[in-house]
Amino acid sequence: MTVFPPFLEDQSLRHRLRLQTLTRLRWLAVVGQSLAVVVIAHGYGFDFPEVICFALIACSACLNVFLSVRFPAAHRLPPLGAMTVLSFDVLQLSGLLFMTGGLANPFSVLLCVPVIISSASQPVRHTVGLGALSVAAVTLLAFYSLPLPWYPDSDFQVPFLLTVGVWIAIVSTTVFAAVYAYQVSAEATQLADALVATELVLQREQHISALDGLAAAAAHELGTPLATISVVAREMEKALASDPRFADDLMLLRSQSERCRDILRRLTTLSTEDEVHMARLPLGSLIEEIIAPHREFGIAIEVVSGGSDLREPVGRRNPGIIFGLGNLIENAVDFATDQVTVTVSHDADRVSITIDDDGPGFAPDVLTQIGVPFMNRRNRMDREKAGGLGLGLFIAKTLLERSGASLTFANRALPATGAHVEVAWPREKMDLLGANSNGYAPVGTG
């Protein structure tokens, strides 16, 4: 069962919005709003409350200055703080639109921007609250606003039907863009977390594989000081052997030092003899090593050879392949009723491993989402039974694909029931000796 790293459970940092991002966007808004007011007032000569508009723009600038002085550039706002700042942006823009024609102002569509920013980074409840504020502001602007700045010798009246259409357009754009931004952001976050978890799993497997090398290195480093201790113990035994006070202690010291030397000698011998074996192993030995931990759960696991006149592939031990295939077999055992069949086949071009179980198989909606991290379409009973097919299967699929494999997930053909998973590699990815070699090297996969 896949163990979720602690960071995947911690949501406290995920919804913190970087303050510098907001201040930069607000400075951009301040410059744009100022230019728009100057052009309308002095470029076209339209009459509108220019001083009040600049006062509202100055409020945004002052807020930026305050936040920049009060907090460091790398500060991240908590959800409530981010919602407060974004709510100010909605109200400030609503005030500008009120002074310049309400929904008749073409810039009224910008009211959806704070909601979109919130949907990409903040909790749903905060985004819904900000969206409600934005919709309320749009609704008020549809009925209450100063006239749109226009030429003094003409009276520009916006038809009510057009105002309703603009209201619908702004609200629908806000909802659609917010939902889309939330979905994209959530999927990107899930993928990033899953990839980090994949790296942690691979690192752990590589660490376990390296323990034999560390044991050999420790044995080598401890050999010299232990030999010195033995020499000193022999000299002390010669000098003090006639003294009954120290005879027993010296004998014990000698025997224990010799025991330590024997242990280190066995470690060194084991590493030397098994170094090649541990680094490489035949495909069949690899499969047996992966299957062994799963034979104790009351489900029969049968290994079937596809048959071939060619020599069995011999590959380098790859922790990613060991973990990936182990996860697939674990899922098959979890869902199987009585038996899991692992079929191993190879030819001059291809190495294939298929895993079949006699369980219920993949549900249609699950089958279309296999490999998606944190897949949430499975019911609670299934998750409790097998630990989920989300992150664990994503990690397995990612690690196997990194090794050059292609994976196929399907259900067994009727009348049989159960899931069918095929993992296939080009032969050169799995065979260090080559398909036509008659040599033998101990097994692994790589």
This prediction has a pTM of 0.53
pLDDT of residue 74: 74
- Percent of the chain whose predicted confidence (pLDDT) is above 90: 25
Please tell me the distance from the alpha carbon of residue 331 to that of residue 326, in angstroms, as a whole number.
9
Q: Which two tokens stand for residue 19?
A: 């303050």
340 φ/ψ angles, rounded to the nearest 5 degrees:
-125, 135
Q: Point out the least confidently predicted range of 76-85, 152-161, 207-216, 437-446.
A: 437-446
Q: What is the mean pLDDT of residues 195-209?
A: 63
pLDDT in tens, 380-436: 444 444 344 456 777 788 778 888 888 888 888 888 888 899 999 888 888 775 545
